[in-house]
A and B are shown apart, each in its own frame.
Chain A
Amino acid sequence: QQQVKQSPQSLIVQKGGISIINCAYENTAFDYFPWYQQFPGKGPALLIAIRPDVSEKKEGRFTISFNKSAKQFSLHIMDSQPGDSATYFCAAILTGGADGLTFGKGTHLIIQP
Chain B
Amino acid sequence: KAGVTQTPRYLIKTRGQQVTLSCSPISGHRSVSWYQQTPGQGLQFLFEYFSETQRNKGNFPGRFSGRQFSNSRSEMNVSTLELGDSALYLCASSLEPGVSPNYGYTFGSGTRLTVV
Q: Do A and B come from one complex?
A: yes
Tell me the A residues contacting B by CB distance below 8 Å.
32, 34, 41-46, 49, 51, 89, 93, 95-106
Q: How many A-B residue pairs have CB under 8 A?
A: 64
A43 adjacent to B45 (CB under 8 Å):
no
- State the CA gap A87–B78 with chains docked (Å): 27
Cross-chain contact of A44 among B46, B56, B97, B107 (Cβ < 8 A) = B107
Residues facing A in B77-116 (CB within 8 A) are: 90, 92, 97-101, 104-105, 107-110
15 further contact pairs, Cβ within 8 A, besides A93-B99, A98-B97, A106-B42: A32-B100, A34-B99, A41-B109, A43-B4, A43-B90, A43-B108, A96-B98, A96-B100, A98-B55, A99-B45, A100-B33, A100-B35, A100-B45, A100-B56, A104-B42
Which residues of chain B come closer than 8 Å to A96, judged between CB atoms? 98, 100
A93 adjacent to B98 (CB under 8 Å):
yes
- State the CA gap A41–B111 with chains docked (Å): 10
Which residues of chain A come closer than 8 Å to B105, judged between CB atoms? 46, 101
Provide the B37-79 mask, 1 if CB < 8 A to any CB of A, else 0.
Answer: 0000011111110000001101000000000000000000000
